[in-house]
Chain A
Amino acid sequence: MKITKDAEKLEFYFNENITAPIVKDLKEEIKETLEQNNEYNHVVANLSEVDYIDSTGITLIIGIYKSVEESGKKLTVTGAREEIKNLFSIIRLDEIFTVQ
């Protein structure tokens, strides 16, 4: 996962599948990053290189949303393949954060 920051935006760029074997490590890294950075107003989860996701991965994205929302900030999911967007739509996650 690559992490980039600018004045307003914090981006998590997932460059591998978000699935059970790596979710625990990703969760730790994301938690530390969010705790150490308060300046941003907007968090982006970029899924452009994600071929597969499982329910642990979806839970990870939900965890990012919860952390960001508690801070009064905004989450956008970008670059997701159509099939992942479909999953998010079934679960109605696209009603609580933006999925592009």
Chain B
Amino acid sequence: MREYQVEFISDFKEADYYSVLLTTYIEKHYDHITAEESFNINFALRELLNNAVEHGNHNDPEKKVRCIVSGSENGITIIVKDEGDGFTIRDVQRQQPEQADLEIRKRGLWLLDKLGFTVEVEGNNVTAHYNWEVEK
């Protein structure tokens, strides 16, 4: 089991930087990862980190976001923690849209489900797990 942990201030630029860094880390350690998996993991990291910055910490630079990525032969787990109260928008984000979705920012967790992630929310702690398409 490999683990990588980062902590940063609540800023979209930081979330951007660390989403790329963590994706690169995952690619480096799992050479079987496909382009689609890499893209989807980056998308999930961005969604979870941006959510923590914006909805969890309300863009307060005094508040930190922590992200832990761990991997195994079966898949990877992303844990994101913020310093907010635990937000109800995450419940809204799970709802499936009735039609072509023109308000996708309200459906982030639904989209992660569709990309193959299992997402659990507990207060200000979100865990997303993804199983590799090809187990190695």
Q: A residues engaging B (CB < 8 A)?
A: 17, 19-21, 52-56, 58-59, 62, 65-66, 81-84, 86-87, 90-93, 95-96
Contacts and interface: CB of A to CB of B under 8 A. Distances in A.
B46 A19 contact: yes
9 contacts: A19-B46, A20-B15, A55-B104, A58-B104, A86-B36, A91-B97, A91-B100, A91-B104, A92-B99
Contacts of B16: 17, 19-21
Secondary structure type dominating chain B contacts:
helix
B102 to A, nearest CB: 5
A56 B43 contact: no
Interface of B: 12-13, 15-16, 19-20, 35-36, 39-40, 42-43, 46-47, 50, 97, 99-105, 107-108, 111, 114-115
Secondary structure type dominating chain A contacts:
helix
Nearest to A90: B114
A9 to B, nearest CB: 24
Contact of A20 (B12, B40, B108, B111): B12
A81 B100 CA distance: 20
A56 B99 contact: no
Contacts of B19: 52
Nearest to A57: B46
A17 to B, nearest CB: 8
A48 to B, nearest CB: 16
A66 B108 CA distance: 20
B111 A55 contact: yes
Contacts of B39: 52, 81, 83-84
